[in-house]
Amino acid sequence: MDPLALLAAPGERLGWTFDDRNLRRQPFAEPEPVRGTVPPHLRARAARWQQGMLRRILISVGVGGAIAAVLFLCGGTVLNLTTAGWIAFSVIGLLLLLAGAVVGGLVALPAIIAARMATAAERTVERDYARARAGWDERRRAHDREQQETVDRLPEWRAAAPVAGNRRIDIVGGTAYGWEAVLTVFGGSLLATRGPMLLVDFTGDALCGELMRLAASTGRTVGVRRFPAELARLDLVTGLSAGELVDCLVEAIHGDARQADRAERSEDALLLHEICDVLAPDFSMPRLLGALHAFTDRPAPALSDDERTRLRNTRSDDRRRLRRIEAFLHPLGTMGTEPSEPTTADLFCLIADEDTGGVQQELLKELLVQWLARQLRVDAPPMGSLVLVGADGIHHRSIERLSTLCERRGVRLVLLFAHLREESLRTIGGGEVALMRLGNHREATEAADFVGKGHRFVVSQLTRTLGGNEAHTVAESHGAADMLGVSEGHLRFTQHHGVVRDWSRTVAHADGTNWSDAEATQRVYEYAVEPRVLQDLPDHALLLVRGDGQGEIVQAVEVDPAIVTLPRVAMD
């Protein structure tokens, strides 16, 4: 099974948070048995009798021997004993000596009895301790088995879901690899949960290629438009009102530059309103350019004779202004000149070409935002989510209007900003904010101030090392490789930046828990929210910032799509 298809599981998820399941293991609460002690009085009595025992024995034997010696000497000097008498005296002496030894033994008997009683008591204590220890070990092993079974049922990667509802999500910073991963993981969940998605990629890197393959592999229809390469099949003007079209063009021409002359903006707006009044209600880019040509007596085949006459009657004498407006609109002259099928695919992607010029892209951005707003107002086609990749440069007022429309229509709006600059700072905060790597120190400082310094978060070793090395493994291996750069004929789309995602997984499970509640492997790395940290975030990590009414909550989310191939991954 294609691992990409696993990401299309219901339930919105930005990624996953690493939850070390071993931290939920409950230690064995029963204390270890304590070895008993021999009653003190037994040891004291044995020690007391033992003390001086040898002296008492020697005294008893010595007394018996001395009496025997005295009798023997007396018998030899005083009495003239016969041989039989000497034998009798010798026997009596030996008996006296033996009696002394017996008395010595009787003197030692209490000490021997006391020592044996102390030894027996000590053996009883050892036997009771061994029995208690064996029972404790058995109960501990049963507890360990139960805890292991409980821990094995717990997920190790928990889905990080945005707040339920339709609030928009702003993702700021990140690299091309990180954005591609976010689009694959979060986009796949949005497709499975909310249905049809409209995605606009302004980056020129075609970062939605993996998401398109995910949609195709799960049986969803995919539509693609490249701009400006396929501009002729993309009409962003038809259906806009005169006011919307004029506002869009003026905003794109002048931008939000502080030095822009308000009078000049007003004059451009007035001229464009006069043109739109003549062309209404049939607006198209060729007709707009034709109107500018008519002002300067050039051929305008897209206009009727009546329209050309009316435009000549309202002729502007400011040729410089006309040429400047024409210079902005000229690159879009082919827009909508060819028929195009409706955008009814489950995943419809509008993708900027790599060589899209700055001025042309800014105008296209504003036109696309107005076109998207109209799609939302008329609910055609219905969509569940709207994703703008590379939303930098879109005027914050346009984003606010689009955000309001999405919230009213129940559409999840996702904006990806490459930088945290003045325009982005005005925009973010209308919903949840996710911060990815911000290489510029000033932008990282702004982001840290936005979150609030002092918050701490952890990133798993898997994402930190970008290698997927984990300490414990399971002797099983799954492998597949996806390579961007392969032509997808049915999508009419070819990816060119050579990224290879290796879906292979080899895990070696050797859990060696040493009951001191310490592990040999560092499974997570802890960080504080500081500018330097935000500059060095891994490609596949983001910080999700949300408010709970009492302050900011910072949650570290890991967005590597390959996580879905690991064991114990929760999808909801």
- Calculate what percentage of the chain has a pLDDT beyond 90: 21
- Secondary structure (3-state) at 253: helix
What are the phi and psi torsion angles at 556 (to 5°)?
-80, 125
pLDDT of 43: 66
Model confidence over 102-125: pLDDT tens digits?
665 666 666 677 677 777 778 888
Instruction: State yes or no: pLDDT of 366 exceeds 60.
Output: yes
- Calculate what percentage of the chain has a pLDDT beyond 70: 69
CA 143 to chain centre: 31
pLDDT of 480: 42
> Would you say 344 and 381 are in contact if contact means Cβ atoms under 8 Å apart?
yes
Average pLDDT over residues 478-498: 41
Q: What is the Cα–Cα distance from 496 to 205, expressed in whole angstroms?
A: 8
Average pLDDT over residues 482-493: 40
Average pLDDT over residues 333-354: 83
Model confidence over 548-558: pLDDT tens digits?
655 567 888 99
- Secondary structure (3-state) at 546: strand
pLDDT of 11: 92
Indicate the average pLDDT of the chain.
77
pLDDT of 479: 41
pLDDT band at residue 46 using 50, 70 and 90 as cut-offs: low
Is the domain defined by 160-236+335-565 classed in CATH 1.25.40? no
pLDDT band at residue 518 using 50, 70 and 90 as cut-offs: very low
Model confidence over 192-207: pLDDT tens digits?
999 999 999 998 888 9
pLDDT band at residue 268 using 50, 70 and 90 as cut-offs: confident
Lowest-pLDDT range, 178-192, 201-215, 539-553? Answer: 539-553
pLDDT of 75: 56
pLDDT of 196: 94
pLDDT of 461: 57
Q: What is the Cα–Cα distance from 87 to 108, expressed in whole angstroms?
A: 31
∠ CA 404-407-411, nearest 5°, is 125
Owner of token pair 């709006």: 413
Please state whether the peptide bond connecting residue 228 to the residue before it is cis, i.e. omega within 30 degrees of 0: yes
pLDDT band at residue 172 using 50, 70 and 90 as cut-offs: very high
Higher pLDDT, 413 or 327: 413
Instruction: State yes or no: pLDDT of 136 exceeds 80.
Output: yes
Question: Could you please report the per-residue DSSP string of 399-435?
Answer: HHHHHHHHHHHT-EEEEEES---HHHHHHTTSSEEEE
Question: Could you please report the per-residue DSSP string of 58-104?
Answer: HHHHHHHHHHHHHHHHHHHHTS---HHHHHHHHHHHHHHHHHHHHHH
Q: What is the Cα–Cα distance from 171 to 162, expressed in whole angstroms?
A: 12
